[in-house]
Amino acid sequence: MLRLPDAVPLSEFVRLLAGRLARGAANLRIDRLASLESADAASIAFLSSRAYRDKARTTTAGVVVTSAEMADAVPADVALIEVPDPYRAYGLIARQFEAWVNPRSTPSIHPSAVVALSATLGRGVAIGPGAVVGERVRVEGGAIIGAGCIIEDDAVVGAQAELRARVTLGRRCVVGDRSLIHAGTVIGSDGFGFARHQGRWEKIPQLGRVQIGVDVEIGANCTIDRGALDDTVIGDGCKLDNLIQVAHNVQIGEHTAIAACVGIAGSARIGRRCMIGGAAGILGHLDICDDVTISAMSLVSSSITKPGFYSGIFPLMDNADWERAAVVVRKLPDLRARLRRLESTLKEN
């Protein structure tokens, strides 16, 4: 049970959330963020869904944050903060608790780190044990380079960005301001470029970069390949889960979210504000427009030009059979409508 070393008055949470203290003492001390079930009298808990109203009715939390519409589910002896969006409020407080419990690293360069003399380090940079910072690298102010990271020549790490342990940032690649890259991720590995010649594969050098925008978060053990000629680009505000493969020359638009184990083939272009479910596959050289949602395990085999919610799972079969079946499946809605019209005509006759 993780508790703050110093309890915080309820009035501070009201201020942070810009909420309304509907009941309770402003000087009540809170030292823990907890679920409705596990909360105690010194805990703050959140009711963000009607599905949890029954749990709210029996909570022993010191304070519950919820909307005015769900406030009646909170016991009368529990302090209450009302906000328009309880789930967003939970995120705000969770980030604040993280800052209290896990403060950012103190600016320093660990003695075991290797930093090239030509590298430029901004004010307040922290570099952890065993990290390697290459020639002409630029690390902007307040950035954190975790233990065992490798920053190759001419790369750039933006202000207040954080690279967790063992991240590799390839030569000339860029991570934008305030972006967070989790442990084990590799940015700027070679794209899968080979030419087949006389039954053998000849390597095609990958000469582009990876450009990651501002306020991006990339999960653990992802692989973002550098472009063949043009850059691989991940736009501002994108959120990527763990174990995602982004191939060379892929472009991902701003504020798109991608769940774990998605594979995106080379030169695919994904629009802004898209949501891609876990383990989906996106073939190369296609376009997905803005505001598209793709369900988990789907295979995107052709461009999507209209915003919407798309799903598609198909059994494995011989490719020629699959292509013929796919044509039929795509026409099924039209065939169904024609069949209904035919049935209606037969009934009338």
Residue 94 belongs to domain with CATH number: 3.40.1390.10
Which pTM value belongs to this model? 0.87
Helix, strand, coil percentages, rounded to 5, for the chain: 20, 30, 50
Tokens 């803005």 correspond to 290
Task: Examine residue 148 and state whether it is found in any structural domain, yes or no.
Answer: yes
Closest C-alpha among 278, 325, 258 to residue 268: 258
Task: Examine residue 326 and state whether it is found in any structural domain, yes or no.
Answer: no
CA 151 to each of CA 107, 130, 165, 168: distance values in angstroms, whole numbers, following the listed order: 18, 12, 12, 6
Write the pLDDT tens digit of every residue in 255-304.
999 999 999 999 999 999 999 999 999 999 999 999 999 999 999 999 99
Which of 58, 77, 101 is the C-terminal boundary of a domain?
A: 101
Write the pLDDT tens digit of every residue in 11-38.
999 999 999 999 999 999 999 999 999 9
Does residue 236 carry a pLDDT above 90? yes
Task: Examine residue 164 and state whether it is found in any structural domain, yes or no.
Answer: yes
CB 61 within 8 A of CB 78: yes
Task: Examine residue 206 and state whether it is found in any structural domain, yes or no.
Answer: yes
What is the spatial order of strands in the sheet that 32-33 belongs to?
20-23, 79-82, 63-66, 43-46, 32-33
Write the pLDDT tens digit of every residue in 218-230.
999 999 999 999 9
Q: What is the pLDDT of residue 325?
A: 85
Q: Are 70 and 174 within one domain?
A: no
Task: Examine residue 335 and state whether it is found in any structural domain, yes or no.
Answer: no
Average pLDDT over residues 59-80: 97
Tokens 């959140």 correspond to 46
Q: Are 123 and 188 within one domain?
A: yes
Closest C-alpha among 169, 117, 112, 118 to residue 143: 169
Cα dihedral 316, 322, 325, 329 in deg (nearest 10): 60
Cβ neighbour number for residue 38 with a 10 Å cutoff: 13
Does residue 150 carry a pLDDT above 90? yes
Residues annotated as catalytic are 248
What distance lies between CA 254 and its chain's CA centroid? 12
Residue 347: helix, strand or coil by DSSP? helix
314 Cβ partners below 8 Å, 6+ apart?
299, 322, 325, 326, 329
Q: Are 23 and 141 within one domain?
A: no
Q: Are 12 and 73 within one domain?
A: yes
Average pLDDT over residues 109-114: 98
Does residue 180 carry a pLDDT above 90? yes
CB 267 within 8 A of CB 252: no
CB-based burial, 227-251: b 16+ in 10 Å, e otherwise: bbeebbbbbbbbbbbbbbbbbbbbb
Q: What is the pLDDT of residue 1?
A: 61
Residue 323: pLDDT band (50, 70, 90) is confident
Which residue segment(s) compose the domain that 56 sits in? Answer: 8-101
**CATH value at residue 241:** 2.160.10.10
Instruction: Please give the Cα distance from 134 to 171 (Å, whole number).
Output: 9
Task: Examine residue 336 and state whether it is found in any structural domain, yes or no.
Answer: no
Instruction: Please give the Cα distance from 22 to 28 (Å, whole number).
Output: 14
